[in-house]
């Protein structure tokens, strides 16, 4: 009998602890992010500022960061037209320049290549034009004294990177 009583008692304490933990979690979540937590409107489409290739914003799994990717999957692009038969790699380009005896261009290309730049002179890494923010500054909640960062469907604290879901209403 005594054993049952003590089991009941620890069970009741367990429930009490659970209730307290829930209350603390609720309190924490209401303290996070002062503001209205409106759903952020984020531009997810843009284009490369050099060649105009359409690009879209892709987010890391933890939503803390994003990068722009070309919709066609390419990483590099060319601006303007390249003549037919233009070299398709730096080694081909170097060969061509050596054949022509253009040693000034040769040494420039070689120096860039040795610095780890594998792009051909007419190529570039796509870089998206960052679209102007569509979020009214008044709608940006603050946390730890800083405006929070907008992510798809959520706001992220710039200090501890905690994610708070945005309100859907």
Nearer to Zn ion, 100 or 144 (CB): 144
Q: Which two tokens stand for residue 48?
A: 């490369």
Residue 84 has φ and ψ, to the nearest 5°, of -60, 145
Nearer to Zn ion, 12 or 159 (CB): 159
Burial 124-159 (b: 16+ CB within 10 A, else e): bebebeeeeeebeeebbbebeeeebbbbeebbbbee
Instruction: Write out the residues near Zn ion by the rule CB under 5 A.
Output: 48, 50-51, 53, 77, 126, 143-144, 157, 159
3-state secondary structure 19-36: HHHHHHHHHHHHHCCECC
Q: How far is the CB of 100 from Zn ion (least distance, A)?
A: 28
- The count of residues in the chain is 169
Nearer to Zn ion, 97 or 166 (CB): 166
Q: How far is the CB of 74 from Zn ion (least distance, A)?
A: 8
Q: How far is the CB of 103 from Zn ion (least distance, A)?
A: 30
Q: How far is the CB of 159 from Zn ion (least distance, A)?
A: 5
Nearer to Zn ion, 44 or 53 (CB): 53
């Amino acid at each position: 009998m005594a054993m049952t009583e003590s089991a009941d008692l620890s069970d009741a304490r367990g429930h009490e602890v659970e209730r307290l933990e829930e209350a603390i979690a609720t309190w924490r979540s209401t303290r996070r992010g002062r503001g209205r937590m409106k759903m952020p409107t984020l531009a997810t489409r843009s284009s490369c500022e050099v060649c105009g290739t359409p690009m879209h914003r892709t987010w890391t799994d933890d939503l803390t960061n994003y990068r722009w990717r070309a919709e066609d999957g390419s990483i590099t692009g060319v601006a303007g037209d390249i003549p037919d038969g233009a070299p398709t790699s730096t080694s081909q380009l170097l060969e061509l320049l050596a054949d022509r005896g253009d040693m000034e261009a040769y040494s420039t290309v070689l120096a860039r290549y040795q610095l780890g730049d594998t792009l051909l002179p007419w190529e570039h890494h796509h870089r998206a034009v960052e679209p102007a923010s569509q979020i009214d500054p008044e709608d940006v909640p603050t946390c730890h004294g800083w405006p929070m960062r907008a992510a798809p469907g959520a706001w992220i604290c710039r200090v501890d990177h905690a994610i708070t879901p945005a309100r859907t209403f």
